[in-house]
Chain A
Amino acid sequence: MRDRLTLSTLGPLAALFALILLGAGLNENFLSAANVTNVLARSAFIGMIAVGMTFVITSGGLDLSVGSMAAFVAGMMILAMNALQPSLGVGLPLALAGIGVAILVGLLAGLANGLLITRAGIEPFIVTLGTMGIFRSLVTWIADGGTLSLDFSMREFIGPIYYGGILGVSWPIIAFAVVVVIGEVVMRHTRFGRYCEAIGSNDKVARYSAVKVERIQLLTYVALGLLVGFATVLYVPRLGSASGSTGLLWELEAIAAVIIGGTALKGGFGRVWGTVVGVLILSLIGNILNLANLVSPYLNGAIQGVIIVLAVVLQRRKSSAEGR
């Protein structure tokens, strides 16, 4: 269905603008370059994952494991870089090796989820609930309950991946923007996106229309795994460490962002730019609570929860109007 500008389409956008106005009214630093960069850069991790999640949910799937997967990927990346440092030395080759490991581990983790779901035919919820526990437990075990830290000199070297940028725009923001643009084009204008929507609407119809249903579904999980890998590459330079609590609840934030953005939770309709709006709404709420002293920041989760429920109520109205 063409994305017409209706009330339900504009809802999330209007909420985003309202939040921006509210933030600007409450604190003059809200619109400062430093704060905007901070909010966007922190949104980038969840945002990239949420773009991948949009495809998974649109095709009728779900992935609860992405937060744990990010922790696992981060752990592997740090482990690999620390192990290779004596032979490669501090420098670009080691950084590239670390990036390669992160992307590869992300891809394999996504592949594992996807194969279990499409080949073994197990419910996505069950599979990823299982791998969610497995990934996180593995990181905790490898870190022996503590923290895996990148060697200090290497941490200095890759720091600019998070903190640097060009023309005053930091790398995470640039990477996020690229992922969003590609995601939007793929969803709206390519066969892959159309097939995701078709499978999510009715996988039987898709099968009878010569769509390779399992392959498309597998690809959505692999792509999500890859994006978790990318997100982790940007995340590790920020702190230079990983632990059992890295990426905690990211899966919920990513899924919430997708739903707030107007993608149907039961699949069949996906909106990548809506997901971006959803991510920004969620991070702005936290940011405004921190900047303004109106409400305790500890209530961040409660306010996000209200927004999520509201978004679904709006969606329900829309679908009941369509399903006449």
Chain B
Amino acid sequence: MTTLALAGVYRSFGPIEVLHGIDLELHPAEVHALIGENGAGKSTIMKILGGYLAPSAGQVLLDGRPVTYASGPEAEAQGVVVIHQEFNLAPDLTVAQNIWLGREMGGLFLDHRAMREATQGLLDQLECKVRPDARIRDLAVSDRQMVEIAKALSRNARVLIMDEPSAVLTHREVEVLFRQIDRLRSQGVAILYTSHRLDEVSHLADRITVLRDGAVVRRAGRGELTEDGMATAMVGRDLKDIFPPRRTSFGPVALEVRDFHVPPLVHGVSFTLRRGEVLGISGLVGSGRTELAEGLVGLRPHHGQILRGSAPAQVRSLPEAAAHGIAYLTEDRKERGLLLTKTLRENLTLSTLADFGAPIISRKLEDAALTRAISDFDIRAPSREMAVGNLSGGNQQKLLLAKTMLPEPEVIIIDEPTRGIDIGTKSQIYHFIDRLAREGRSVIVISSDMPEVLGLSDRVLVMRQGRVAGELAGEAIRETAVVRLVMGTSEEISQNA
């Protein structure tokens, strides 16, 4: 028995066909994982399932009967609910107002208390500490995701479609999410789940469908496909070397940080970084990782010592950080990293524009820099004049990396290098990072992606509540050790470190 299914679905945008005859079945009380690289067609499939797009040919079947929804809300009325990756929340409304938007309780006058209490109930289920009266605007990204999930729970969904719900969640929140998914599954809900984290997929999914270039290339049941097998099926080639081989020799200390504070979030952090070394920083979102990085490049007020080589460096602003050869690549490429409506060239040179001629900017120099960036970082853009917002996430990230590397910094702090990026491009970015280290630069990688931290780092610094909880090097870098430090269940390691 199937709840929701696609039968021979095709979809074209203009002359380009992006889905070529997809068959997909969602069964009650099952988690069905849909995986594939960016651009494989996952989003289009989810939009068709959720009633946001109509198929060009083929059928959507609900309980075996063909349906055509006029809109997403109409699909929701039938119990098909989508949790979007791009949040559909009104930033100035409260959590409760958002959850009940369009379905407010009460008659002529709204029953605020009932809605608040129901919201509190939903948030309690999710172990989410957000208040129902909090405004969305004031919430962290991970809390917004939880609100989005709470909203979906409130709709008594029969089919739940989750578009990378874990991408912005912390380890602990992902665990809560998984418990909720288990609960919903046992209640008979059919769940479609997408994620770039293959460990999640093998943990959760009862059934896996692998997409490549708009077609299903592999179907598997639980346990039939290893993570390597999934990656190989998605990419279509063997991916033995997702991570570059580890580096073995390091130069002298390039950066030393002593007793560094970024009030009110980071306290007394000290560490060193050698030339040619990749230092991973792990920790929950909110553990002060990003604030530490932003403090180190002068984006936040701080006190404490920064030494470059053996000379003290004063870094009160980004230009001062650049002068000391320190660069920062933000975790938020769409809101802090790139101007989405501008072209590749304008984005590439924005932070180093003074090097491209004054007072008149030399278009020729800029174009040359872009040509070099495109070849150095394998940026695939259909046109150099297109708006960066129309590039895929992976190519945006490569462009952002090129922009950060333009002033040739010696210390590069990369915050979430591969968030929301497919496995093929991820691997490419890992090799770029390795190349930077082998050129004698020092790289700090801040990441919530555990395999990434484990696979890339020569040394791992774990942060918890604004302090260094511990440091691991060499063979000691193991997932269990990192997780223990992240969660704060192993005091003795942090003392020995």
Contact = CB atoms under 8 A, between A and B. Distances in A.
A205 B337 contact: yes
B360 A189 contact: yes
A221 B359 CA distance: 20
B361 A1 contact: no
Interface stretch (B40-48, B174-182, B382-390, B445-453): B382-390
A207 B346 CA distance: 15
Given A1-B385, A191-B353, A208-B330, 19 more contacts: A1-B343, A185-B360, A189-B360, A189-B361, A190-B360, A191-B361, A194-B361, A198-B346, A201-B341, A202-B339, A204-B335, A205-B338, A206-B339, A208-B318, A209-B318, A209-B350, A209-B351, A210-B322, A323-B389
A310 B342 CA distance: 25
A195 B322 CA distance: 18
B387 A322 contact: yes
Interface in A183-235: 185, 189-191, 194-195, 197-198, 201-202, 204-211
B381 interface: no
Nearest to B346: A194
Contacts of B338: 205
Contacts of B354: 191
A194 B353 contact: yes
A324 interface: yes
A211 B350 contact: yes
| Interface residue range, chain B | 20 to 34
Interface of B: 299, 317-319, 322, 328, 330, 335-343, 346, 350-351, 353-354, 358-361, 385, 387, 389-390, 403
Contacts of B385: 1-2, 4
A1 B335 contact: no
Shortest 10 CB-CB contacts between residues of A and residues of B: A209-B351, A210-B318, A209-B350, A201-B339, A208-B336, A210-B351, A189-B360, A191-B353, A204-B336, A190-B359
A250 interface: no
Nearest to B13: A324
A34 to B, nearest CB: 38
A269 B360 CA distance: 19
Nearest to B358: A191
A205 B387 contact: no
A208 B343 contact: no
29 contacts: A1-B341, A1-B346, A1-B385, A1-B387, A189-B361, A190-B358, A190-B360, A191-B359, A191-B361, A195-B353, A198-B346, A198-B350, A201-B340, A201-B342, A204-B335, A204-B336, A205-B350, A206-B350, A208-B328, A208-B330, A209-B350, A210-B317, A210-B319, A211-B350, A268-B339, A268-B341, A269-B341, A322-B341, A323-B389
Nearest to A194: B353
Contacts of A185: 360
A323 B350 CA distance: 21
Contacts of B318: 208-210
A229 B319 CA distance: 34
A317 to B, nearest CB: 15
Nearest to A188: B361
Contacts of B350: 194, 198, 205-206, 209, 211
B361 A190 contact: yes
Contacts of A209: 318, 350-351, 403
